[in-house]
Amino acid sequence: MDILLFRAALSLYLVSCLGYLSSLFARRVLVAKYAGWGLLAALVVHTLAFGARCLATHQNPLVNIYAALSFFAWVLAAVYLVFQVRTKTRVLGVLVAPAVVILMMAASAGLGGAVALPPILRGHLVSVHVVLAVIGEACLALVGLAGAMYLLQDRLIRKKRATRLLRLLPPLEDLDRINHLGLLCGFPLLTLGVIAGALWARTVWGTHWPGDPKLVWTLLAWALYGLLLHQRLALGWKGRRMAIGALTAIGFLLAALAATGLFFQSVHTFG
């Protein structure tokens, strides 16, 4: 049942993605509004899939990288919908929905079969670590996507091009507001996730900070986001400067995670 629900959610995410893209090409915000309802429907079905998985396995559903990707997609969609209610950013789904679909398609590679939970992943701290870190990273990913759209629109304004497209895109103030809210939510959650992970590492390896490349690069990205939040709150950075910073930070985080996954052995590799 959980697999059927997952596939249904993936299909709805894809329909929503096509709706958002159609709104851009048709230059109609109304189409993006309907796509938003489709994204909400996909999120509901995806939630049911997680519930069915828990009932079927009687264990934490985040047992491997595929489940984590699925959860990341769920959080990214949920956070975007919450921010969409608070800001006029329906068209930002043009970037968010494809990202969600890509994550879900990657997660689908791990569908089927029972997955035994490794002993190292048993414990409440593991769940707290993963949930907080993923939610925090999803908020920061949304900040990066908003930064990308901000820079695109800012460039169009500076070049005085595509005036019809500009009427479709969300106001720069709303994209900057997502930058502000996303940092305020994402950085503290990521911080708590790192702390929970350190406490878990202490019980497993006897040290809060094992020599792990993923941890090192994650801490560097964490420090970069901390700097951005400080510059925003203490020095009043906003607008184009913060959009560039957010895009740089998410690019660094993604590149670091990809590099450590491909070229280094990590204690975070569980299957």
- Per-residue pLDDT tens digits for 30-78: 888 889 999 999 999 999 988 887 777 666 666 677 788 888 999 999 9
Region class of 161: left (phi > 0), else alpha (psi between -120 and 50), else beta:
beta
Q: Which residue has the higher pLDDT, 194 or 161?
A: 194
Angstrom distance (rounded) from CA 36 to CA 29? 11
* Percentage of the residues of the chain whose pLDDT score is greater than 90: 35
Classify 36 in phi/psi space as left (phi over 0), alpha (psi -120 to 50) or beta.
Answer: alpha
CA 212-216-217 angle, to 5 degrees, is 120
118 pLDDT tier (thresholds 50, 70, 90):
low
**pLDDT (0 to 100) of residue 180:** 92
Report the candidate in 216, 79, 97, 68 with the shortest Cα–Cα distance to residue 138.
79
Distance, in Å, from the CA atom of 266 to the CA atom of 69, rounded to the nearest integer, reads 17
**Within 13 Å and on the Cβ side, how many CA atoms surround 116?**
3
Q: 185 vs 33, 137, 182, 192, CA distance in Å?
A: 25, 10, 5, 11
Judge residue 33's burial from the number of C-beta atoms within 10 Å of its C-beta, 0-12 exposed, 13-18 middle, 19 or more buried.
Answer: middle
Residue 269's pLDDT band (boundaries 50, 70, 90)? low
Arithmetic mean of pLDDT over the chain: 82
CA dist 152 and 165 (Å) reads 11
- pLDDT at site 17: 93
Q: With b meaning 16 or more CB within 10 Å and e meaning fewer, what string describes 240-264?
A: bebbebbbebbeebeebbeebeeee
Query: Is 187 in contact with 140 (CB distance < 8 Å)?
Result: yes
pTM of the model: 0.84
Tens digit of pLDDT for each residue in 165-202?
677 778 888 899 999 999 999 999 999 988 888 888 77
The domain limits of the chain are: 2-112+119-209
